[in-house]
A and B are shown apart, each in its own frame.
Chain A
Amino acid sequence: MSRPAYTPTEMMIVAAARQLAGERVCFVGVGPPNIACNLAKRTVAPDLELVYEAGVFGSAPARLPLSIGDPTLVTGSTLVTNQFELFAYYLQAGLIDVGFLGASQIDRFGNINTTVIGDYAAPKVRLPGSGGACEIAINAKKVFVIMPQSKRSFVERIDFTTSPGHLTGKRPAGWGAGPSVVVTGLGVYEFDESGEMFLATTHPGVSVEDVSANTSWKMRVADDLAETPPPTDEELRLIRELDPEGAYTR
């Protein structure tokens, strides 16, 4: 049996990393966003300033950090500060171009749940909660979301709004622009002027039907729907160098 050249998660990470081209200051989230941002810094965005909520600006990690509080984030960074300053002077003051978030559930307007599945008081599944996501969703200039896609994660109505997206279509004045890109294992999604998500590209081998089968609402599709270019050899080499044990990418 021949092995595929790359895993769906690797495609997702590569697609997410490419979205960071031209960006300057990125607030890195835990999990897949972590590897996507580190890949972007080694490919499309070498000048990217990696900011970690742990209190690091201008991080230059020498290894892929498992957690977002790893010692490698500190050694060789531009600046380490306490978490109040990081959230207040950097995020709340508007210095963050892109906030990268994960999600357990998302709706068509990019509102995110990472708190509970089921009722808050007696949850079926207790998820980690906000961390810094709620304030990132509000204050970052824009938000990229990276998450696995299924009918259970792309839902008509999320069980709990942890981090606001485009609410019901419009965000209040004074907030950042909100979610602009969602990357899953199936494709890349963007948002139109009404704040609703649409399918912009499908990953190689994925059909619009596959997307529909894994979305609980009727997903809108771009008129100029394209295919996501597959990972290059160099991108795959870097991912595997960053994550030799496949902790994020299997």
Chain B
Amino acid sequence: MAGGSKVTTMREAVAELVRDGDTVAIEGFTHLICFAAGHEIIRQRKQDLTLCRLTPDVIYDQMVAGGVAGKLVFSWLGNPGVGSLHAIRRRVEGAQDQPLALEEYSHFGMVCRYLAGAARLPFFPLRSYAGSDLPKANPRIVPVDSPYGDDAVYAVPPLNPDVAIVHAQRADASGDAQIWGLLGCQKEAAFAADRVIVVVEELVDEATIRRDPNRTVIPGLIVDAVVVEPRACHPSYAQGYYDRDNRFYLEWDAIARDPETLERWLKEWVYGLDSHAEYVEKLGAERWAALAPGEAWSDPVNYGRYG
């Protein structure tokens, strides 16, 4: 195994690899959002983080409420399918004591930022933003002329997080991680980051990874820690393992609307628990049973044996 075992606990991984003031990306587009990592960051009371995600989602609403964030870098600030992220809105709207800094792009712009970061390019060009007020709101979005003719595009700067936290269905102990279902931009975020934590539903042998190399999204080469934390994405989901808990996303709207209710929720579900295993237990067998998907297997493919 290349590099030896990197398996550790969430507590140790977050303590060691997430530092106050860091730029952090817990990526995953609706799918594979590692809530357990966000909760551990809140529990460890990290400070002044810049949180990057295309969709801050409920996880960053919780982290902003938990006081760990000073800034958001994002492209769509809502509770998907439900409405608003109220804790974040309270820090953005009108006059308030502790404004949250925002750096705003579009989805394609954020994806291109990670791509430039991953490829160590000074910028990435895209066809967006013309005619929009977004470049006025964010001066880091700038028009550039093509060096090869009279075409003009917009450029976005690279995004290189200090740490990327990526959830995968499975990885081996050195961090070779396999993902199926929505891929989002986890690969780009991981390659762009200085440090990478891979969290998995299942730890598997290196041989399992090697039997299906097309499914490997992130190589252990760039991974610093592997955390085995089943059901770490709830209320997000892991394709084939558990469904998105839409009920929770709907319930969050009422929880987050009222600061005191939200504080009670954090006490009960984050500060009051020692680990994600306790969260899984507390959620209860009935809830988990309701989130269990049926089966839909792919057919095996023959990679061939050569020599």
Which residues of chain A have a CB within 8 Å of any CB of chain B?
30-31, 53-56, 65-71, 73-76, 80-84, 87-88, 91-92, 111, 115, 120, 122-135, 138-139, 160-164, 167, 171-172, 175, 247
Contacts and interface: CB of A to CB of B under 8 A. Distances in A.
B185 A82 contact: yes
Contacts of A115: 104, 133-134, 137
A129 B77 contact: yes
Nearest to B237: A71
Contacts of A53: 107
Interface in B206-250: 237, 239, 243-244, 246, 249
Contact of B78 (A73, A128, A161, A175): A128
B93 interface: yes
A126 B93 contact: yes
B264 interface: no
B188 A87 contact: no
B281 to A, nearest CB: 24
Contacts of A126: 77, 84, 88-89, 92-93
Contacts of B92: 123, 126
B111 interface: yes
A84 B185 contact: yes
A68 B55 CA distance: 12
Contact of B128 (A31, A70, A138): A138
Interface in B100-133: 104-109, 111-112, 115, 126-133
B293 interface: yes
Most interface-central of A70, A75, A162 (chain B CB within 10 A): A70
B133 A161 contact: yes
Contact of B133 (A124, A133, A160): A160
A80 B296 contact: no
A54 B30 CA distance: 8
B95 interface: yes
Given A71-B181, A71-B243, A74-B181, A130 B130 contact: no
B193 to A, nearest CB: 16
Contacts of A81: 183
Contacts of B243: 71
Nearest to B293: A71
A133 to B, nearest CB: 7
Contacts of A172: 130-131
Q: Which of A82, A120, A172 has the most CB of B within 10 A?
A: A82
B265 interface: no
B24 to A, nearest CB: 19
B75 interface: yes
A135 B134 contact: no
A91 B108 CA distance: 10
Given A66-B244, A67-B244, 9 more contacts: A83-B183, A84-B115, A84-B188, A92-B127, A120-B137, A129-B76, A134-B106, A139-B128, A164-B132
Contacts of A124: 93-94
A126 B284 CA distance: 35
Given A54-B184, A69-B29, A164 B108 contact: no
A122 B95 contact: yes
Given A71-B31, A83-B184, A134 B128 contact: yes
Contacts of B244: 66-67, 69-71
A160 B132 CA distance: 8
Interface string B155-199: 000000000000000000000000011111101100000000000
